[in-house]
Amino acid sequence: MSRQYYRMNPQQYEEMEEFYRSLGYNERQTKKLCSECFGAKIKIDPKKRYSDDWEFLRERNFYENESGGFGAMLRSMPMMGGASAMMRGAPGMMGGVPAECGAVVEDAMPMMMPEVQMEPEFNTATTEDPRENEKQSPLDSPAAIFSANVNSASWAYLRSKISTGSRVDKSFVRIEEIINSYDCHLPRPENGELFSISAETGDCPWDDESEMLLVGLKAKKADGNMKQNLCFLVDVSGSMEDRWVLVQMSIASIMSRLGDGDTISIIAYSDETETVVKKLDCKDKNDCVDAILDIDGIGGCTNGSDGLENAYTYLTERYDEKANNRVFIFTDGDFNFGITGKGSLGDFIKEKRETGIYLSIVGYGFNNFKDDKMETLSRNGNGNYTFVSNPADISDYLSDKLMSSLMTVAKDVKISLEMNPAKVSEYRLIGYDARALTKQEFHDTEKATDGIGSEHNVIALVQFKRGKASQEYPGRYVKVSTEEAGDELAFVEVHYKNTDGENLVKTRSITDNELKEGKNDNIAAVTLLAGFGLVVKDSEYKGNANDDMLKKLLSELDPDKKAVPYSHFHIIREYLKNR
pLDDT digits (tens, 9 = 90+) for 265-307: 999 998 888 999 999 999 999 999 999 999 998 777 778 788 8
Do 283 and 322 have their domain in common?
Answer: yes
Do 547 and 460 have their domain in common?
Answer: yes
Do 245 and 378 have their domain in common?
Answer: yes
Apex 230 CA angle, 22 and 286, nearest 5:
45
Min mean pLDDT across 123-127, 254-258, 382-386 is at 123-127
Domain count of the fold of the chain: 3
Q: Residue 177: helix, strand or coil by DSSP? A: helix
Strand partners, 229: 263, 325
Note whether residue 475 is domain-resident. Answer: yes
Could you tell me the CA-to-CA distances from 289 to 38, 251, 253, 402, 443 in Å, in that order?
12, 10, 11, 19, 47
Buried b (16+ CB within 10 A) or exposed e, 192-205: eebbbbbbbbbebb
Note whether residue 154 is domain-resident. Answer: yes
Q: Residue 355: CA atoms inside 13 Å, Cβ hemisphere, count?
A: 27
Q: What's phi and psi for 405, nearest 5 deg? A: -75, -35
With cut-offs at 50, 70 and 90, classify the pLDDT of residue 93: very low
Buried b (16+ CB within 10 A) or exposed e, 448-469: bbbbbbbbbbbbbbbbbbeeeb
Note whether residue 504 is domain-resident. Answer: yes
Amino acid at 270: S
pLDDT digits (tens, 9 = 90+) for 15-62: 999 999 999 999 999 999 999 999 999 999 999 888 777 888 888 765
For residue 213, pLDDT beyond 70: yes
Residues in Cβ contact with 225 at an 8 Å cutoff, skipping those fewer than 6 apart = none
With cut-offs at 50, 70 and 90, classify the pLDDT of residue 538: very high
With cut-offs at 50, 70 and 90, classify the pLDDT of residue 310: very high
Question: Which of 409, 414, 445 has the alpha carbon at shortest distance from 432?
Answer: 414
Note whether residue 134 is domain-resident. Answer: no
Do 205 and 328 have their domain in common?
Answer: no
- pLDDT value of position 207: 98
Do 207 and 240 have their domain in common?
Answer: no
How large is the average pLDDT for residues 209-237?
95
Do 165 and 76 have their domain in common?
Answer: no
Note whether residue 298 is domain-resident. Answer: yes
Note whether residue 136 is domain-resident. Answer: no
Could you tell me the CA-to-CA distances from 276 to 279, 292, 328 in Å, in that order?
10, 9, 15
Q: How long, in residues, is the chain? A: 579
Which residues constitute the domain of residue 242? 227-400
Note whether residue 233 is domain-resident. Answer: yes
Min mean pLDDT across 129-133, 177-181, 460-464 is at 129-133
Residue pair 305/335 in contact (Cβ under 8 Å)? The answer is: yes
Write the DSSP symbol of residue 397: I
Q: Which helix (H) or strand (E) holds 383?
A: strand 383-387
Count Cβ atoms within 10 A of the Cβ of residue 361 and give its class: 0-12 exposed, 13-18 middle, 19 or more buried. Answer: buried
How far apart are alpha carbons 472 and 422 in whole angstroms?
A: 15
pLDDT digits (tens, 9 = 90+) for 330-370: 999 877 655 556 667 778 888 888 899 999 999 998 877 88
Do 59 and 157 have their domain in common?
Answer: no
How far apart are alpha carbons 536 and 532 in whole angstroms?
A: 6
| Region of residue 261 (left: phi > 0; alpha: psi -120 to 50; beta: else) | left
pLDDT digits (tens, 9 = 90+) for 374-425: 898 888 888 899 999 999 999 999 999 998 989 999 999 999 999 999 999 9
Q: Which of 348, 366, 400 marks a domain boundary? A: 400
Q: How far is CA 178 from the centre of its chain?
A: 10
Do 244 and 172 have their domain in common?
Answer: no
Question: Which of 121, 99, 81 has the alpha carbon at shortest distance from 44?
Answer: 99
Q: Residue 513: helix, strand or coil by DSSP? A: helix
Q: Which of 352, 380, 400 marks a domain boundary? A: 400
Do 218 and 235 have their domain in common?
Answer: no
Q: Which of 369, 400, 431 marks a domain boundary? A: 400
Note whether residue 117 is domain-resident. Answer: no
